[in-house]
Amino acid sequence: MQVDNISIKDIDEKLLSAEYVSNNEISTTLYLSFLLGKPMLIEGPPGVGKTELAKVIAKSFNRDFFRIQCYEGITFEQIVGEWNYQKQLLHLEAAKNDSNNVDKIFDDEFFIRRPLLNAFLNDNDSVLLIDEIDKADEEVESFLLQALGEHEITINDLGTFELKNDLIVILTSNSQRSLLDETKDRCLFLYIPYPTVEREIEIVKSKLPEANDETVSYVVKLVHDIRNLNLMKKPSVRGTVDWVKSISNLGTNNIDKTMEESMGVAIKTESDKKRVKKDIFDKR
């Protein structure tokens, strides 16, 4: 993407128009991704908006969106594509009397494309999200190095495919395992922590502009107190938004009581609920 006609402030405004409250580090990293043509590796605790950022970038810059959701055991075939063996067998059966057609079973028409190859060969500028890359094994991560660094994908028996559009690649990680140094070297690094109170208030207001300012401020500050506890799962930013929406509908006459009764909106385990009740609500 040409960055001559776009500034970091423009990026802030574009993201905000899609209800994503950025900060200078996020917008600067995205600007540099455009400038340098490098992927972004985004780390941070679950629920801070890493995945949401990738979606918002696609929406804000009018790009097609592709997603690879990684998980333990994900394979090359599920990321790039696989041969359509049934179609190949049917072709071989039909061509058994014509040896000249046998080699055609390794043509593109017999290959089922998956998100990585689709994103590379898409006609329109795109965003590719490789979500939770830390859940994939190192073999899969190693395969991605060519795509991340050289903007190429090599598939055995099919050939090498070069990138056809201005593709932004975003990898997210919850640090379940340490990524390869080679992956890190190919990417711009961005760490997104839980937002400050001020930024989280902005985020909630962007999602719920009709919400009462005092309610938003009260809930956000309480959520920050909760995150300071030793919990199995700290409340996400999405949880804060949902909690504010819930409180706004349930009523704020006794906001602490209402929040305690609706804890399941943001607190996701029974042990965490007991801890929050004991250390937060019972002391108020």
Tens digit of each residue's pLDDT (9 = 90 or more) over 51-93: 999 999 999 999 999 999 999 999 999 999 988 777 767 766 7
Cβ–Cβ < 8 Å for 175, 43:
yes
Residue 97, pLDDT score: 63
Residue 87, pLDDT score: 76
Tens digit of each residue's pLDDT (9 = 90 or more) over 249-277:
998 889 999 999 999 999 999 999 999 99
Rounded Cα–Cα distance for residues 123 and 166 (Å): 9
Cβ–Cβ < 8 Å for 150, 157:
no
Which DSSP category does 42 fall into?
Answer: E
Residue 92, pLDDT score: 67
Which DSSP category does 99 fall into?
Answer: G
Residue 283, pLDDT score: 83
Residue 95, pLDDT score: 65
Indicate the domain borders of the chain.
8-191, 197-283
Cβ–Cβ < 8 Å for 190, 26:
yes
What is the dotted CATH code of the domain comprising 8-191?
A: 3.40.50.300
Which residue from 143, 175, 1 is spatially nearest to 68, judged by alpha carbons?
143
Cβ–Cβ < 8 Å for 70, 132:
yes
Alpha-helix residue ranges (DSSP H) falling in the chain: 8-17, 24-36, 50-60, 76-79, 85-94, 115-121, 138-150, 181-185, 197-207, 213-227, 237-250, 255-261, 270-279
Residue 193, pLDDT score: 95
The counts of H helices and E strands in the chain are 13, 9
Rounded Cα–Cα distance for residues 46 and 90 (Å): 46
Rounded Cα–Cα distance for residues 205 and 189 (Å): 28
Rounded Cα–Cα distance for residues 83 and 90 (Å): 13
Question: How does 51-63 read in b/e, with b if 16+ C-beta sit within 10 Å?
Answer: bbbbbbbbbbbeb
**Whether the predicted model's global pTM rises above the 0.85 cut:** yes
Residue 100, pLDDT score: 59
Cβ–Cβ < 8 Å for 59, 18:
yes
Low-confidence ranges of the chain (pLDDT < 50): none
